[in-house]
Amino acid sequence: MAGLAISANDLLLVADVQNDFCPGGTLAVAGGDAVVAPINRLGRRFPHVALTQDWHPPGHTSFASSHPGHQPFDTIDLPYGPQVLWPDHCVQGSPGAAFHPGLDLPHAELVIRKGFRQDIDSYSAFRDNDRRTPTGLAGYLRERGFRRVVLAGLATDYCVRFSAIDAREYGFEALVIEDACRAIAGGDAYIQALGEMRAAGVLILNEADFPA
């Protein structure tokens, strides 16, 4: 699919390229900072760009520290379903919540902050993990006339995956640029995440599939 054309109806959606998800951060994704250069290159090709930003209040329910007796990466049941417990990360206003300093997308038109409700986590750019509470992104895309969402960022198997699948459910085309993403999990879990996206109608591509 080399030379895939970029149109005015496309939006590059960059997921959570924040300090806490990059090396040295409290929830670092292996090689997380390696997405910065390809995303910057892609950003110069796309006229329309939006960003997501994890934005948790202190003591957020997704933090293992909020649940005595539990450790990071345990899974517990919350009123909205299973929840992986994470190290404290992307706390509102903290250096870890800031975008990676190398990210260079000055023409980005929107920042969607998510995970700011105390008692519910949010992986998807479109809705919280209760699958009911919207972020408003779908309405924004429709009012702006966007039809295709092209995703990159962190992490492939969480925020990118949930956002891509939700984009399809909300009626948009969705493409994931695999080499402009990095995942938390590898092996079978990573293959499963890709399979779930493909099953939902998400195309998995690479940076080279878009014209320079």
- Known catalytic residues are 16, 114, 159
Instruction: Collect all residues with Cβ–Cβ distance below 8 Å to 66 and sequence separation of at least 6.
Output: 59, 60
Cross-strand bridge partners of residue 150: 12, 175
3 state DSSP class of 1: coil
Question: How many whole angstroms separate alpha carbon 4 and alpha carbon 70?
Answer: 47
Q: Is 81 exposed, middle or buried (CB count within 10 Å of its CB: 0-12, 13-18, 19+)?
A: exposed
Matching residue, tokens 């994931």: 176
Three-state secondary structure along 57-121?
A: CCCCCCEHHHCCCCCCCCEEEECCEEEECECCCCECCCHHHCECCCCCCCCCCEEEEECCCCCCC
Q: How far is 143 from 140, CA to CA, in rounded Å?
A: 5
- Six token digits for residue 129: 């993990």
Compute the distance between CA of residue 169 and CA of residue 200 in angstroms, rounded to an integer.
Answer: 8
